[in-house]
Amino acid sequence: MAQDCDSSSLVHLNVGGKKFSTTVDTLTQRQPDSMLAAMFSGRHTLRQDKKGYVFIDRDGEHFRHILNWLRDGEIPKLEASQYAELVKEAKYYQLLGLVDGILDALNSKEDKKLDADFTRAEVINHIYSTTKWSTRLENGTFKLYFRGVNLSGLNLSKLDLSNVNFSYACLRHVCFSGANIVCSNFNYADAEGATFDNACWLVLLFLKQIFEELLLWVLNGTISLGHLAWKIVGTESYP
């Protein structure tokens, strides 16, 4: 039986056993060059079951998201694994606009994860003043407490970061090049992609886990030991 493809006509779909009802307009207007638009363009004869449903042998769980996007253009809020499955279905139906929207949503999620709690200027301010993140020591210097904060992506190069508590902090892709990190505490910090070229180290408080991670970074080529300046009693030596 041929499907009536008048733009306002009702369409009944059976996608992988799940039933949906929509219109030809919905299936054809948002992405006119898609497979669904071609199916319901009126150029093809579509077979219906006895109840008038057109069967599509795909995952019905994700089709509701596809149908909602065709209706209003909004990208659903899903977990990354669900987005991956939805992209697969969207590509099958040749809905490139939906694919692009999902990729933008994933990139936005990743950007939010990397949003630092402070700017470089704010870190500098904490170094030289008493704030809730710092304590003035007897020698007049300040000890910073950045335990568990997100500093990802910051350029902290050439700063005096001695005695800073970075434990459990997110330090992904932070630049510590040329910084003074003598006696700083990096216990359980996430420093994936961070750079430490020419950083000044003396008593760096890494626990066993961090030493193991540092070794992995060296083995993976993330950090070059030749670029790490270890200053011990005023002299440079390399492990």
pLDDT tens track for 37-80:
999 988 888 889 999 999 999 999 999 999 999 999 999 988 87
pLDDT of 140 reads 52
> Which of 95, 113, 131 is where one domain is finished?
113
DSSP characters for 69-86? HHHH-PPP---HHHHHHH
Residue of higher predicted confidence among 107 and 30: 30
> Which of 91, 113, 135 is where one domain is finished?
113
CA distance 187 to 184: 9
Domain count, the chain: 2
Residues 143 and 75 in one domain: no
DSSP classification of residue 225: G
At 204, the amino acid letter reads: L
CB 2 within 8 A of CB 46: yes
CA distance 176 to 196: 5
Average pLDDT of the chain, as a whole number:
78
Q: Is residue 23 helix, strand or coil?
A: strand
For residue 172, give its domain range: 115-239
Residues 159 and 181 in one domain: yes
Residues 145 and 88 in one domain: no
**Domain-embedded: residue 2:** no
With cut-offs at 50, 70 and 90, classify the pLDDT of residue 236.
very low
> Which of 113, 137, 156 is where one domain is finished?
113
